[in-house]
């Protein structure tokens, strides 16, 4: 662990209110990731929110559909952790839109394919 991270953790422990700022930044990050989707996917196979189904595929399967996964994987190339981080932000948004969806199911749908 580097010094920056240790100091960051200590400051959060010393002042829990700061973690609220971190959560707000996280919400902004999620918003930015969603805004980036049309560019990343070439304006096709976008999720129809709040259901998170594909707008393009016949019968609107759960998003990310197979073509969306392929396009996202191509966008990130060998950077699998970058891809996982990106879809994790989208998972965060989907979990908010689909509060009844089991966490295991959302993880399988959004994250498992990135490995
Ligand atoms: Zn699709």
Residue 7 confidence class, pLDDT cut points 50, 70, 90: low
Q: How many domains does the chain have?
A: 1
pTM: 0.77
**Domain extent at residue 61:** 3-114
Distance in Å, CA 45 to ligand 1 centroid: 4
Distance, in Å, from the CA atom of 33 to the CA atom of 35, rounded to the nearest integer, reads 5
CA of 42 to the centre of ligand 1 (A): 12
- What would the pLDDT profile of 47-59 be if each residue is shown by its tens digit? 999 999 999 999 9
The whole-number average pLDDT for the span 33-56 is: 97
Spatial CA neighbour of 8 closest among 22, 27, 23? 22
pLDDT at 34 over 70: yes
The dihedral through the CA atoms of 40, 42, 43, 48 has a sign that is negative
Ligand 1 centroid – CA 114 distance (Å)? 17
């Amino acid at each position: 662990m580097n010094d920056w991270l240790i100091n960051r953790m200590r400051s959060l422990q010393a002042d829990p209110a700061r973690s609220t700022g971190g959560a707000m930044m996280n919400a902004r990050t999620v918003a930015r990731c969603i805004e980036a989707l049309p560019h990343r996917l070439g304006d096709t196979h976008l999720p129809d929110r709040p259901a998170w189904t594909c707008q393009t595929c016949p019968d609107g399967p759960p998003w990310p559909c197979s073509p969306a996964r392929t396009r996202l994987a191509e966008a990130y190339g060998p950077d699998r952790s970058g891809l996982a981080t990106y879809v994790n932000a989208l998972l965060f948004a989907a979990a908010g839109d689909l509060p009844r969806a089991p966490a295991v199911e959302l993880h399988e749908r959004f994250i498992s394919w990135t490995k």
